Structure 1
Amino acid sequence: MRLFRFLAFIVSLLFLLAVFWIKWPQFSFFRTPEALSMISGYLAFLLISLTLLLGPIKQWLARFAPQLLLLRRDLGIIGGVCALVHVALVLFIFEKGPQLHFLQSDITAKGWLGLFFLDASVYGGGLSPNFTFTGIANYMGLIAFILLFCLWITSSRYAEKLLGGSSWKRIHMSNFLLFVLVVFHALIYVNSIKGEPHTPGDFLWIAGIVVAIRLIAFVKTVFLRRTK
């Protein structure tokens, strides 16, 4: 089992490096922090998608269920690291002043607060929630990161034993909600940043595969239960 986890880690690392190598030239228009933030976010999306695919695959390949369960857990941890890098870089970028060209004219608050608030001081007001499309995307990203962090810190067997099987399972049932939030967060940003190399198709085809496979697995499970 240790050998399997080691080999799976190496393969996962090579996969991430390959995606990074393919994506990096596409972001030459952006500064390094902005490019790294977008690529790390995309890597996190890919890994979250893979963890959702491994659930149905584990049911269909019951013989390899223990290995696939470990693989899903490890991919989730790596995905959490990528998401943490993405969030840290975004906060750093906005604190320093982003060099991104957003397709909106709203005046946001200074620093990282600009992710979530608009600055109405020029009109005699104060901070107000940022309900622009990018603001909504940021709120989605924040909720998604909180969910991912909860999944991340409870991904160990110790956490599962500490929380109990039912409580642990309820927490990890939120992984599909996390996926939906990440998809919409990404789609809004893809259409909000001038020169963004990603297109909606980069996310939608993967999302379509995830939804289709999980739907097939759900229908199959319901059918088998009714026929028993």
Structure 2
Amino acid sequence: MLAGAGLYGSLPGHDWISKVSMSSAYVSLALIGLTLAVGPWRTIMKQKMPVSQDLRRDLGIWAGITGLLHTVVGINVHLRGRPWLYFIYEHPERHAFPLRHDQFGFANESGLIASLLLAMLLATSNDWSLRRLGTPGWKKLQRWSYGMFALVVLHGILFQLVEKQRLPLVLTFAILAGCTLVLQGAGYLRRRRSFRG
């Protein structure tokens, strides 16, 4: 919350909707990255990895809340009062395929799919779902977090380009996404070495 408030205050302009959208986007990306970093970090530190861990679950819940907040607010930034135009062209009769297939459309469609996955992950981040689905089924569902992260990164890259974002925000995005990818790679390599050894 403090990070979001600090980022909100540092953003230029007076449009609170744009500022809430931006600040929640970066905080959510950081929280998703931290959630995905818990497993690799424990692997690198040679610690046992439980099926479900409170820290990872809590981070994931906050990532889900801020990510969905970003979705709800973000869909009102560019085309206020006409959210459907994020996904279809304003004059569909002028297009052979009415679903937006430009950079802006791909940015929003990848964000929408990521938000749906985030909502599913958030809804199943509890003991009841773990008991109901069983360990294998629950873990299989939670593995969608990697696909969700890939879509979030794609969404972020496309919006950096659409909005011609300022360099400090581009670097922040790159560092957050890059650190997550590096930790995932390091954890993967450590697991492979431990299986071989």
Fold shared, TM-score > 0.5 on shorter chain? yes
Query: Please, which of 125, 129, 135 is the counterpart of residue 155 of structure 1?
Result: 125
* Structure 2 unmatched runs, 5+: none
Question: 1: CA distance between counterparts of 2:55 and 2:37?
Answer: 11
Question: 2: CA distance between counterparts of 1:197 and 1:29?
Answer: 16
Alignment of 1:140 onto 2:110: yes
What's the RMSD between the two structures over aligned residues? 2.4
Match of 2:57 in 1: 73
Question: 2: CA distance between counterparts of 1:80 and 1:26?
Answer: 23
Alignment of 1:35 onto 2:5: no
CA contact (8 A) 1:117 1:127 kept: no
TM-score, length of structure 1 as denominator length: 0.76
CA contact (8 A) 1:27 1:35 kept: yes
CA contact (8 A) 1:58 1:69 kept: no
Q: In structure 1, what residue type is equivalent to 2:27?
A: L
Match of 2:144 in 1: 174
Question: 1: CA distance between counterparts of 2:188 and 2:19?
Answer: 37
Give the structure, 1 or 2, with the largest relative contact order (CA under 8 Å, sep 6 or more). Answer: 2
TM-superposed CA distance for 1:120, in Å, is: 2.3
Q: In structure 2, what residue type is equivalent to 1:83?
A: G
Percent of residue pairs bearing the same amino acid type: 26
CA 1:226–1:128 in structure 2 vs 1: closer, same or farther (change >3 Å)? same
CA 1:152–1:52 in structure 2 vs 1: closer, same or farther (change >3 Å)? same
TM-score, length of structure 2 as denominator length: 0.87
Q: Map 1:120-139; keep pairs closer than 5 Å.
A: 120=91, 123=94, 128-139=98-109
TM-superposed CA distance for 1:173, in Å, is: 0.9
Alignment of 1:212 onto 2:196: no
**Bigger radius of gyration among the two:** 1
Query: What is the number of equivalent residue pairs in this alignment?
Result: 195
TM-superposed CA distance for 1:131, in Å, is: 0.8
Match of 1:62 in 2: 47
Alignment of 1:52 onto 2:52: no
